[in-house]
Amino acid sequence: MNHDQKSGFGRREILKLAAVAGATFAGTGVFAGQSAAADDDSLSLKGKRIAISATGTDHYFDLQAYNAQIAEVKRLGGEPIAVDAGRNDGKLVAQLQTLIAQKPDAIVQILGTLSVIDPWLKKARDAGIPVLTVDVGSTNSINNTTSDNWGIGKDLALQLVSDIGGEGNIVVFNGFYGVTPCAIRYDQLVNVVKYFPKVKIIQPELRDVIPNTVQDAFTQITAILNKYPEKGSIKAIWSAWDIPQLGATQALAAAGRTEIRTYGVDGSPEVLQLVADPNSPAGADAAQQPAEIGRTAIRNVAKLLAGQTLPRETYVPALLANKTNVAEVTKKLGIG
């Protein structure tokens, strides 16, 4: 039995899986927005007050989704009531309480730790206010508009495993398992890695934080590199979003450890630029379409208020950008 057979998957099979993963992302097509925009000409929010509750807007994804929602409510003739909790859970709860008291025609919640927001989403539902969500898998939400986080998690993990040849130590940031998309992506990483027995997640896992995410990730990765000074002792660094990836990539470059690759999710322009740099440790980034996710959520509100039945989940395609295809992906996203 050769080396590859012992690992469960041969290198050729790993590369095939990663190629299929990338093709799956690309095959979803850019973009749902084009077809969605074509069929929403009859939609209207005229005379409707739509509450938009953001957990925070300091991250590229959040801000893009938030601004697009406000613009889409106005475009459809409605009045947005947009509020931003600034990443403060106490403020977020107070924000939801205030919105429930104002009795808008619908509430759209963008992200948030489920244990924090779910009791208030239930209160809104009990008060007869339709609740929709962006990237929150709550049973109190009529519809959740999101990327396919199962697909993102699986495909990013396959890209990572392919790039490291199916073996080696990886560092994982896992500080936000209470946030549903992060949990799904992490679980998919674990599901993939368990079939590659020579891939090991270094314990304890790291905890990414908000705020000062980049600086904190830089500090934590610098400490890990000091603990594992030999080249090859770490193969990759994974995070459920790409701001920790940004800090980790900067730490690797500063330490001269560019043989280690970093992986993340979101498609922030600065991270995609690093993926495009052949000398950067940034290996891949699963790029979401936050503005289209925001617009789609508002169109779903209009459909609901018009009496249409919504699916439980609405998925907006994502694109996996790696060293090979990042120019194509950024062009499709309109940021290249």
pLDDT at residue 8 is higher than 50: no
Per-residue pLDDT of 97-122, as tens digits, reads: 999 999 999 999 999 999 999 999 99
* pLDDT in the model for residue 39: 56
User: Is residue 261 helix, strand or coil?
Assistant: strand
Query: Is residue 281 within 8 Å of 262, Cβ to Cβ?
Result: yes
| CB atoms inside a 10 Å sphere around CB 232 | 10
Beta-ladder partners of 80: 50
Structure confidence at residue 329 as a pLDDT band (50, 70, 90): very high
* pLDDT in the model for residue 336: 63
Query: In Å, how far are 20, 148, 175 from 155, measured between CA atoms?
Result: 9, 11, 21
Sequence-ordered alpha helix ranges (H) in 127-204 = 149-163, 180-193
Please name the residue that has the structure tokens 């130590």.
169
Residue 269: name the closest of 95, 38, 64, 109 by CA: 64
Beta-ladder partners of 201: 170
Q: How far apart are CA 287 and CA 10, in angstroms?
A: 28
- Look up the pTM and report it: 0.81
Per-residue pLDDT of 253-306, as tens digits, reads: 999 999 999 999 999 999 999 999 999 999 999 999 999 999 999 999 999 999
* pLDDT in the model for residue 40: 65
Amino acid at 175: G
Q: What is the token pair recorded at 146?
A: 């999101």
Please name the residue that has the structure tokens 């619908």.
106
Q: What is the token pair recorded at 114?
A: 């489920």
Kindly provide the residue ranges of all beta strands, DSSP E only, lying in 159-303, ordered along the sequence: 168-172, 199-201, 236-238, 261-266, 282-287
Amino acid at 292: E
Kindly state the percentage of the chain with pLDDT values over 70.
Answer: 88
Residue 204 has φ and ψ, to the nearest 5°, of: -75, 155
Pairing of the two strands 79-84 and 282-287: unpaired
Per-residue pLDDT of 116-164, as tens digits, reads: 999 999 999 999 999 999 999 899 999 999 999 999 999 999 999 999 9
Query: Is residue 81 within 8 Å of 50, Cβ to Cβ?
Result: yes
Per-residue pLDDT of 148-207, as tens digits, reads: 999 999 999 999 999 999 999 999 999 999 888 999 999 999 999 999 999 999 999 999
- Estimate the crossing angle of helix 290-305 against helix 60-75, to 10 degrees: 40
User: Is residue 127 helix, strand or coil?
Assistant: coil
Residues of 73-109 as b/e, b for ≥16 C-beta within 10 angstroms? beebebebbbbbbebeeeebbebbeebbeeebbbbbb
Which residue ranges form the domains of the chain, and what is each CATH number? 44-147+291-316 (3.40.50.2300), 149-288+320-333 (3.40.50.2300)
Kindly state the percentage of the chain with pLDDT values over 90.
Answer: 83
E strand or H helix at 205, and its extent? Answer: none
User: Is residue 290 helix, strand or coil?
Assistant: helix
